[in-house]
């Protein structure tokens, strides 16, 4: 009988911890889709498919851009690219995601920038087509533009 009481007490304690963990957990907000692909044109620096990955925490959001079709022209150190990604809002206007985050890249390595930070509102629907990605490396600005709508569709923030 004593074992049953200890077991029941342990189960109640575990349940109470689980419930209190849920009570103190931050509200999880979701952006859908979490990743989208675009066809990008960066002029003489390359063109091809790029993947945008978005996250959201309240009104704060980040977007990371990766492309194996667009490569680093020279070896680059970590956090050495100043980037600004402009996405177009479905109702008009734009939202900018900016930052200097990037991994170290060897010459010819796939380009990756981000996470770039921006501010969103609940219900924002953001699309890369019509916007641009500007990356400044050693004083040289590289501008990339989407050549069509992103797939599977725009980012919609909760």
Q: Which CATH number is 85's domain given?
A: 2.60.40
In a domain, 25, yes or no: no
Structural domain span for residue 61? 31-151
Per-residue model confidence (pLDDT) at position 17: 37
In a domain, 43, yes or no: yes
Is the per-residue pLDDT at 20 higher than 80?
Answer: no
> Nearest to residue 83, comparing CAs of 42, 35, 32?
42
DSSP structural state of residue 16: H
pTM: 0.81
Helix or strand holding residue 72 (H, E) = none
Name the least confident of 11-20, 26-35, 97-106: 11-20
In a domain, 86, yes or no: yes
Residues facing residue 118 across a β-bridge: 61
Per-residue model confidence (pLDDT) at position 70: 85
Is the per-residue pLDDT at 148 higher than 70?
Answer: yes
Per-residue model confidence (pLDDT) at position 93: 96
In a domain, 6, yes or no: no
Tell me how many domains the chain contains: 1
Residues facing residue 61 across a β-bridge: 56, 118
């Amino acid at each position: 009988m004593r074992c049953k009481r200890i077991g029941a007490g342990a189960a109640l304690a575990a349940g109470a911890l689980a419930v209190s963990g849920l009570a103190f957990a931050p509200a999880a907000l979701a952006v859908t889709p979490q990743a989208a692909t675009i066809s990008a044109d960066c002029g003489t620096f390359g063109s091809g498919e790029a993947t945008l990955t978005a996250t959201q925490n309240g009104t704060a959001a980040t977007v990371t851009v990766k492309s194996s079709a667009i490569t680093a022209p020279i070896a680059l150190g970590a956090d050495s690219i100043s980037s600004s990604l402009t996405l177009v809002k479905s109702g008009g206007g734009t939202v900018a995601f900016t930052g200097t985050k990037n991994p170290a890249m060897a010459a010819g390595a796939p380009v990756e920038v981000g996470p770039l930070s921006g501010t969103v509102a609940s219900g924002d629907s953001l699309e890369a087509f019509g916007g641009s990605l500007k990356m400044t490396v050693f004083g040289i600005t590289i501008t990339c533009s989407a050549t069509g709508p992103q797939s599977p569709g725009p980012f919609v923030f909760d």
